A = this chain, B = another copy of it.
Amino acid sequence: MLQEEIRRRNLGTLLRHVHLDGSVSRAALAERMGLNRSTIMALTLELTAAGLVREDAPTDTGRSGRPSLVVRPRTTGVYVLAFDVAVDWLTAARVGLGGVILDRRWAARPRAGADLDRVVGVLAGFGRQLHEAAPPEAVCVGVGASYCGMIRPGDGTVRFGPDLGWVDQAFGPELGRRLGLARPVPVGNEAHLGAVAEQRRGAGLGFQNMIYLHGDVGVGGGIIVGGKLLDGDGGYACELGHMVVNPHHGRPCGCGSHGCLEAEVGERALLDAAGRPADLFGRGALRDVVSDAGRGDPAAREALHRIGDWLGVGVANLINLFNPGIVIFGGMLRDVYPAAAEPVRARIAASVLPVARERVRLRTSALGDDATLVGAAELGFSELLADPLRGVVPAL
């Protein structure tokens, strides 16, 4: 019984290595897992028989001696469906084992007025299309969704979705029902999932302590502490966008407060600071400010400097609190940060204690707008990775 448990855990660990690395030699697996080669071979054979991995001769390494076989994920044969409800779009994707996006569907969505039924309807439709377009022998092993709001852990309920005005909406359960699943779709907050994705497959690779700032209309956060997402007592931690940085003269925030980081550096703040019309919004408008600043437009430059100063206050505070190895700017901040890096760095130099800023890196997201989707896919794969043999039950 204990032996069986150890075997299942080892299967999961091996599959996780293969899933995250894409291809790993048997020799490397033996070393990383502290097991001998014959055990690795036995585990690999089981996962091969279950259709989860395959083994190849490695491409010539130039070294002498018998080369170790390379284990790879069966990317096209084993997939999850990943969904992303972002502020400006709905996306669904078929993501293969190994984290490869194989196929996707995308639709713009209006900023307001989309109720649960409509959103779930679009996503479920995408899900069916993706499933039908998959090769007949491919197996769906899980589902995961990202949502731009606060999610109750466990059941996928949206506690608070500010841009759609959702409060306590049964998003995960309803999406599960519409996909014909027997249970809710696991759902995560977009910035949390983006952080996990960046840490596993992006700019945060190898970092155990990491801060991910995700900009859309507002600013969300995913904070990795000791390799794990900071969740707090109820799963509602990481709300760095509602850190008040301007307590007495702050802009009003969607949350009802004033001077929150997202109120000072969010989309509206930047567009207002650049003197753009009040009815302009969206990623395109933001990028216009950035490119205008690049061409020397004084109003755009001044706006980016101002937003960068507030962003710097927030980032400096986060570095003092978390002493992270890396800070990653994602979502629309991926466009904004490079144009506002100077005031951000100035605030860090002024306010972060030297010992904590000695080694911290500032980077933009490597996965870009796919970060949240890739994170949702990781959520979908988690059950398979926890118990690879039990997990191979068609989820759809």
A356 to chain B, nearest CB (A): 4
Chain B residues within 8 Å of A180, by CB: none
- Residue of B232, B260, B320, B354 touching A324 (CB-CB under 8 A): B232
Nearest CB in chain B to that of A323: its residue: B232
Whether the pair B244, A247 counts as a contact (CB closer than 8 A) is no
Nearest CB in chain B to that of A159: its residue: B355
Whether the pair B257, A350 counts as a contact (CB closer than 8 A) is yes
Is A237 in the interface zone, CB < 8 Å from B? yes
Chain B residues within 8 Å of A238, by CB: 321
A311 to chain B, nearest CB (A): 11
Those 4 A-B pairs whose CB atoms lie nearest each other, nearest first: A232-B323, A237-B323, A239-B320, A257-B351
Q: Which of A141-158 contact B (CB under 8 A)?
A: 150, 152
Is A233 in the interface zone, CB < 8 Å from B? yes
Nearest CB in chain B to that of A247: its residue: B313
Chain B residues within 8 Å of A236, by CB: 323, 353, 355-356
Residue from A207, A242, A316, A317 with most neighbouring chain B CB atoms (10 Å): A317
Whether the pair B160, A351 counts as a contact (CB closer than 8 A) is no
Interface residues of A, CB < 8 Å — how many? 59
Contact with B along A253-264 (1 / 0, CB 8 A): 001111010000
Besides the contacts A238-B321, A244-B245, what 18 more A-B pairs have beta carbons closer than 8 Å?
A160-B353, A208-B233, A223-B321, A225-B226, A225-B230, A226-B228, A233-B325, A234-B323, A234-B359, A237-B321, A239-B323, A240-B321, A244-B316, A245-B247, A246-B248, A247-B347, A248-B249, A257-B351
In the complex, 8 of the A-B residue pairs with CB atoms within 8 angstroms, ordered by the A residue number, are A209-B233, A209-B237, A232-B322, A234-B358, A236-B353, A239-B320, A242-B352, A246-B248
Is A231 in the interface zone, CB < 8 Å from B? yes
Chain B residues within 8 Å of A209, by CB: 232-233, 237
**Chain A residues at the B interface, C-beta cutoff of 8 Å:** 150, 152, 159-160, 207-209, 221, 223, 225-226, 228, 230-240, 242-249, 255-258, 260, 309-310, 313, 316-318, 320-325, 347, 350-356, 358-360
Question: CA A316 – CA B55 in complex, angstroms?
Answer: 53
Nearest CB in chain B to that of A234: its residue: B323
- Residue of B242, B244, B353 touching A255 (CB-CB under 8 A): B353
Whether the pair A235, B323 counts as a contact (CB closer than 8 A) is yes
Chain B residues within 8 Å of A256, by CB: 350
Chain B residues within 8 Å of A310, by CB: 247
Chain B residues within 8 Å of A355, by CB: 150, 152, 159-160, 234, 236
Nearest CB in chain B to that of A223: its residue: B321
A61 to chain B, nearest CB (A): 34
- Residue of B313, B320, B351 touching A240 (CB-CB under 8 A): B320
Whether the pair A237, B317 counts as a contact (CB closer than 8 A) is no
